[in-house]
Amino acid sequence: MVELYSEPDVKKIVVVGHVDHGKSTLLGRILLDTGKIPADKVEAVKKTCEEKHVPFEPAFFFDALQEEQEQGISIDTTRVNFEFDGHRFLLIDAPGHIEFLKNMTSGASEAEQGIVVVDCVEGIRSQTGRHLKVLSILGIREVIIVVNKLDKIGYNETTFTKLAADLADLADAEGLRCLKVIPISALHGENITATSENFSWYNGLPLLPFILKLKEDTLDFTTGSEPLRMVLQDVYKFNDMRYFAGRVMSGEIAPGMEIFFSPSGKVSTVASIETFPAGGKQKAFKGESVSICLTEQIFVERGEVISSTREVPEVETEFGSRIVWLSSEPFQPDNNYLLKIGTNEVNCEVTVVTPAGGSRHASAVLNNGDIADVKIKTERPIAFDRSLSTANLNKLVLCSKYDTVAAGVVNLKGERKHDAPVADPNVVFEEGYVQRGMREEQNGHPGTVLWLTGLSGAGKSTLAKALERFLFNSGYKVVVLDGDNLRTGLCADLGFSPEDRSENIRRISNLAKIFLDTGFITVVACISPYEQDREQARKLIGDADFNEIFMFCPLEVCKSRDPKGLYKKVVTGQVSNLTGLSSPYQPPVNPHLRLDSSRMTTRDEVSAVIDLLDQKGVVHKDRLTAPAVTPVPEATPQAKL
């Protein structure tokens, strides 16, 4: 009926409510009062009403299907685009009947806020609470509640006030912020675009002016403040140029900006922004679909999330979610489902959890409309946001082979918790007679920690051994703490669960601190996949002494190297939870050094680390000998992709 707007400044709001509470009437009235319904269309609807001997209803502008008009309920989701006072809005009319919950969920997933329509005569119904719950599950955090049909109760203020308080409490119970409760009469068009004498006791703004003010306030607050999120749709190659096409979900992107790809951890710089057929542009904003060209060509695929290097999304393979089941086929605990977040699609296992946090995998039964807390485990790492709801990367859907079966939102609280043990208060730390400074003076150089992190096969151990030999031959006190070596002794009791990985890093961090305090240059070489654990290591060791070095290497190159045969063992089922495949790796965002071992020789890497140590005053180049390492061959063009 009305052309859809695609510009990024359109405010999207989903409208929900119990059947017959007046959603479609409200939306029809909005279009009628804002001049969006042609006169001939108005006359046609009036004529149809006369022929059917029914009162004229603005809702009939939307209930276009004959079966809908006869039954008096909305079956599909209708989009209502309109302008008000120079601003553009998209209201999404979501069905209120329980049988059409799936359609309602589809509409709500696109919205930023919700309008809940409640009939003041019928009051709160079961579907009112369910709709509020579903909006919360789909990541909508704010709602406007519209109390309709005040004309039927003589515009009684007392009835409205009590109902408004109850509705606000109900929204709060579902974790929703109630922005306003507004009384209206949709049938008569009162308190929608302008005030009405019948609502003289109401001192707030009418519905549309309130939404307009809300939009202006939101624009003032968020302009330039949202982190960049762009979902990668696909990569196209024309005339030896690669175009990385996607949609900007939040923030903005511009040429010259250094960008980060998650979950791969690859970094490049935007060379240009291209649109078709318009050509290049200097900046792209939220809601725009564009292609970017990079200064350095990299190999990435659909599903990556593009961000700045300062504010990146989370990368995980296991997380909690609250979902609403949408399929007529019940949930099957032993089935694999397809998870979709942004443009990423990955197979996953779903386990229903109890309120106490335990699983009830074997006996779990979810039917159409059921709401449940679940744990989702994906077969490979994915990127998402927990709290940045404006980018929609906290919203998800689950699919079977042929159907969408559930929708939900990633839980705000992270699944992985690991608290470091606290020493007994009766244990007293003993300071030695020989302090760190005295040792460093005798050694002739300060101590420091070089923390090498990266995937298996990225070259951590190779660089660590090369650094050790070079610094040792140059007269420096140096020690290497290799993650695999420590797992044969100090950490032999640990497995590869997230909790054990955290404990592994805690032990290595404390050992590194001991060597640091004796004045050694301490080289730590371990995958250390979680940013949280590396942050704890930094805090223990200290900002001045903790030097994070990201040994970047594309996963496909690591798999081709496979120095320990681990990637091959994953294929044969001998190894599970391998980082980068079935277990997440969260790449460092701002490491002191980022070394691409698929392009650099070991000699180049050693030289880069020595430059870092020289800048920090740990080593002095005039004291160094030639590096005693055997360079690796230059990377092939395939490895450079």
What letter would DSSP give residue 388? Answer: -
For 421-461, give the DSSP string.
Answer: P---TT--PPPPSS-HHHHHHHHTS--EEEEEE--TTSSHH
| Measured distance CA(244)–CA(250) in Å, rounded | 17
Query: 630: how many CB neighbours lie within 10 A of its CB?
Result: 10
Of the CA atoms within 13 Å of residue 464, those in its CB half-sphere come to 26
Q: For residue 218, what is the enclosing H or E element?
A: helix 207-222
Q: For residue 253, what is the enclosing H or E element?
A: strand 252-253
Edge-to-edge strand list for the sheet holding 113-119: 78-84, 87-93, 11-17, 113-119, 142-148, 177-183
Burial of 257 (C-beta count, 10 Å sphere; 0-12/13-18/19+):
middle
| Measured distance CA(318)–CA(416) in Å, rounded | 9
Q: What single-letter amino acid sits at 44? A: A
Q: Which tokens sit at 586? A: 């969260």
- Tell me whether residue 387 is one of the annotated catalytic residues: no
CA 475 to chain centre: 48
The CA distances from residue 380 to 55, 272, 583, 603, in Å, are 57, 31, 7, 33
* Closest CA relative to residue 576, chosen from 377, 341, 346: 377
C-beta of residue 589 within 8 angstroms of C-beta of residue 312 = yes
Q: What single-letter amino acid sits at 616? A: K
Query: 231: how many CB neighbours lie within 10 A of its CB?
Result: 22
| Measured distance CA(516)–CA(411) in Å, rounded | 39
| Measured distance CA(530)–CA(584) in Å, rounded | 8
C-beta of residue 537 within 8 angstroms of C-beta of residue 509 = yes
Q: What single-letter amino acid sits at 542? A: G
Of the CA atoms within 13 Å of residue 207, those in its CB half-sphere come to 29
C-beta of residue 584 within 8 angstroms of C-beta of residue 262 = no
Helices and strands in the chain: count of H runs, count of E runs: 15, 26
Residue from 389, 528, 583, 598 carrying the catalytic annotation? 528
Query: 169: how many CB neighbours lie within 10 A of its CB?
Result: 10
| Measured distance CA(306)–CA(314) in Å, rounded | 12
For 115-152, give the DSSP string.
Answer: EEEEETTT-S-HHHHHHHHHHHHTT--EEEEEEE-GGG
The radius of gyration of the chain from alpha carbons, rounded to an integer in Å, stands at 30
Q: Which tokens sit at 542? A: 């200290």
Catalytic positions: 528
